[in-house]
Structure 1
Amino acid sequence: MSRLDDVRAAMGRAGVDALWVSAPANVRALTGFSSGADGKVLVLAGEATLYTDARYTVQAREESSVPQHIARPPETYEHAAERVRGLRVGFEAEHLTVAGLEDLRAHWDAALVPTRGLVEALRRVKTAQEVAAIREAQALADRVFGEVRPLIRAGVREIDVALALELGLRRAGAEVGFDVIVASGPRGAMPHGVASERVIEDGDLVTVDFGARLRGYHSDMTRTVAVGTPSEEMRRVYNAVLEAEEAAVAAVRPGVTGGELDALARGILERHGLGEAFAHSLGHGVGLNVHEGPGLRKGSEDVLEPGMVVTIEPGAYLPGVGGVRIEDLVLVTEGGHEVLSRTPKENV
C-alpha cells in the first residue's frame, strides 16, 4: 500500500470522508513537495490534490506525486468546496490556525472534524527511501564532526565550534537541521544550551548536539568530549551517562515500548545518584521533523516497530557544575537495531 492508501484507511477509522492536510511535514510526506509550509493537501477516497500558489508552479510539477492546483485563497477553498460538499472533512487540529478553520467554514458546505496525529502516526515507520535519506544525513554529520573535533580545545569560543559545524554541513550539501548546541563547562548543565561566546577552558566537558537535514530528512547526534582533564566528579557523571546510553541502545528492538527504554536508562542513572539530574525524556523519533513519534519517555506506550528511527539520549545536568549528554541515532530492524551514528564515544 502507498502512504496515501494508508491515510485513507486511517480516515476510515477516524470516521471522515476527506482530510485537509496543513502540517508542512505531512504535506511533504504525502506528495513529495518540499515547500510544505506553502502547500495544503486534500485527500479524498479516490483522489488527492496539492494546493499551492504560482511561486511554486514549476517546483510543484517537478516534485509532487499528486495533481496540483495552483491558486491562492480564497480560490483555493472555492476549488476544494466542490469536492467536499456534504462530506465529513477531517482537519489537523494541532496545525490548522483558528483563522484557517474560519476560512474553511466560510467556504465549505461540509462537516469539519478535528483530527490529531493521523498522518504523523503513519510517518513513524519509515520507507526504505526515507531510511536511506536519514542514513546519508547522519553519515554526512559524522564526517563533519570528525573534521571539526580538533577545534574543540581550550581558548576556542563555543560559537566558533558551532559555526564550523554549520559551515561543514553547508559545504557538504546539507542544511543545518536545528540550532547547534555547544555547551561547555558549567553551561553543560543546560540541556538546550545553544552556542554562546563562552571560551572553552582546560578541564571542561563540552556537549555538542547537532544534525544535518538532507533532502528534508534529519540526523541527530550528541557527543560530550573532554578538553584536558575534567574533575573526578564529572568523569563519574560521564561514565554513568555512557552506561545508561549503551544499555538503552542495546535494548532497542521491535516490541519494546518507549517507556520501557526510558525506565531502563533512568534506573541506571538513579543507581548512580543521578536520577534527578536526568531532566528530559530518553529520546524521540526522527524523520522529516527532528522531533516526532514515537516518544521514548516515562510511561510511553509507543511500541517500537521495524523501520522506526529513534534517538537514545540520556543526560545528567548539575547546575553550576556542568552536564553530560550522549546521543545515538538508531534504526529499529526486524532483528533488533542498527546504530546509524558512527562517531566514536570518547573515553573521559
Structure 2
Amino acid sequence: MSWHEQRTQNLQAILAESGHAGLVVTDLVNIRYLTGFTGSNALLLVPAAGECAFFTDGRYLDQAREQVWIERHEITRDLVGAALGHGLGGWAAETHLITVDEWRTLGELPAAGNLIERLRLIKDEPEIEALTQACEISAAALTRLWEEPLLGVSERQIAVRIETLMRELGADDRAFDTIVASGPNSAIPHHEPTERLVEPGDFLKIDFGALVAGYRADCTRTVVIGQALDWQREIYVAVRQAQALGVQALKPGASIADIDAQVRRDLAESGWLESFTTGLGHGVGLRIHEDPFFTSTSVGRIERRMVLTMEPGIYLADRGGVRIEDTVLVDQAGPVVLTDVTTELMEIS
C-alpha cells in the first residue's frame, strides 16, 4: 500500500466516525496529500467506505494516470457537475476552503471541518524525508551565502542569489517569497527586498527556504555587517535566548499555549516583549503556514512527528530588527532542529 493510499484510508476512518457518507475534496493541497497529484485542476470524492473517484480535465489525463493511485478517473471540464452526478446525499465539503458560490454549486453540503488538516498535523516518513532534505538544502545554501561578499550588494540581488544556491543544491524551487531586509528594513517583519545596498553596521535579515517534493523549509537568520553595536548585541541575545527556550519546549505533550506564554514571558523579562509584534511559530509542510499556530488561545498540544517553526523576533522601527527561526521536528525524545545553522551572532563583511 502506498503512503497516499494509507492517508486516504485514515481519512475514511475519520469519516466513518463522523457520520458523513463521504467528503468532497476540492483543495489542491489536500488532493495532493491524498493522491500525489500536482496539477492545477482536480476534485476528489472520498467515501466513508468504498472506492474513491478522481476528477480532472483533459490536460492532465496522462499525468493523473502516472501520479494518482486511485483507479477511477473521470476526465471532464465540469468537475463539480460530474461529482454531483454521483449523488452526494449525506456527504460533506471543505467549506472552510471554498467560496460561498462554490458551496452553493455543490448543493450547500454541510461542513466537514478540518479533517484532512488534522491528518496533516502528524507527518509520515515520506513527508519527514522531504522536509529534512528541504531544510538541509536551505542550511547549506545559507552557509555558502555567508562566504560571499555581501557589503554593497542589494537586497534583491541577495534574494536571487540564495534562491539560485538552493536550486543548485537540489531544491525544486523556493518555498515562498524570500525576505531579505537590511539596515532599518530589518525592522519590517515581512519586508519585500528592494534595491537598497547593504551598508556597514547593518543588520541583515534573511527569511527563506527550499521546496522539495512539495514540502517547504522555513528558516530565518540575522547577521551584522561589520562589527555589532551594543544595542544590536542586546536585542540579538534576547531573541536567541527566547528562541532556544521555545525550541527546547517542543516536546510531546507540551501545551502550545503554554509554550507561547513561556517565550513571551522570557521576552518580557528581558524588556523586549512590546517589540515582538508577530506570531511565535506555526506548522509547516505542503503549505508554508499550517496548523498548529502558536497563540495564547491555542488549545492543542505538541505531538510526535509534528514539524513546526519557532521564530521570535524584536523589531525596532527605523533602526533594525532580529528574527531567528528554525524548522523543528518533534521526536519522542524532544526537538530535532532541521535547519541546522548556527544561531550565534555573526559579524560578516
Match of 1:131, SS state, is helix
Matches within 5 A, 1:98-177: 98-105=100-107, 112-151=109-148, 153-174=150-171, 175-177=173-175
Residues 148-157 or 226-235, more deviating: 148-157
Asked if the contact 1:57/1:70 (under 8 Å) is kept, the reply is: no
Question: Aligned residue for 2:8?
Answer: 4
Asked if the contact 1:16/1:113 (under 8 Å) is kept, the reply is: no
Question: Aligned residue for 1:282?
Answer: 280
Pick from 57, 64, 72: which aligns with 2:61? 57
Indicate the RMSD between aligned Cα atoms, in angstroms: 1.7
- Cα deviation per residue 1:60-93 (whole Å; 9 max; x = unaligned)? 111112135243343x3343334334x2111111
Question: Aligned residue for 2:224?
Answer: 226
- Taking every aligned residue pair, what percent have the same amino acid on both sides? 37
Residues 248-257 or 61-70, more deviating: 61-70
TM-score (norm 1): 0.93
- Cα deviation per residue 1:31-60 (whole Å; 9 max; x = unaligned)? 11122x411111012121221111111111
User: Which amino acid is the alignment partner of residue 153 of structure 1?
Assistant: L
Matches within 5 A, 1:29-40: 29-35=33-39, 37-40=40-43
Question: Aligned residue for 1:307?
Answer: 305
The answer as to 2:31 corresponding to 1:27 is yes
User: Which amino acid is the alignment partner of residue 4 of structure 1?
Assistant: T
Pick from 80, 83, 94: which aligns with 1:80? 83
Match of 2:189, SS state, is coil
Deviation at 1:153, TM superposition (A): 2.8
Q: Give the Cα separation in 2 of the matches to 1:65 and 1:281.
A: 38
Gaps of 5+ in 1: 106-110
Gaps of 5+ in 2: none
Question: Aligned residue for 1:108?
Answer: none
Match of 1:84, SS state, is coil
Q: Give the Cα separation in 2 of the matches to 1:28 and 1:225.
A: 37
Matches within 5 A, 1:130-279: 130-151=127-148, 153-174=150-171, 175-279=173-277
Asked if the contact 1:155/1:199 (under 8 Å) is kept, the reply is: yes
Equivalent residues, number: 340
- Cα deviation per residue 1:113-171 (whole Å; 9 max; x = unaligned)? 12331110110000011100100111111111112123463211111110001112223
Q: Give the Cα separation in 2 of the matches to 1:336 and 1:23.
A: 32
Q: Give the Cα separation in 2 of the matches to 1:9 and 1:69.
A: 22
Pick from 24, 43, 46: which aligns with 2:46? 43
Q: Give the Cα separation in 2 of the matches to 1:96 and 1:293.
A: 18
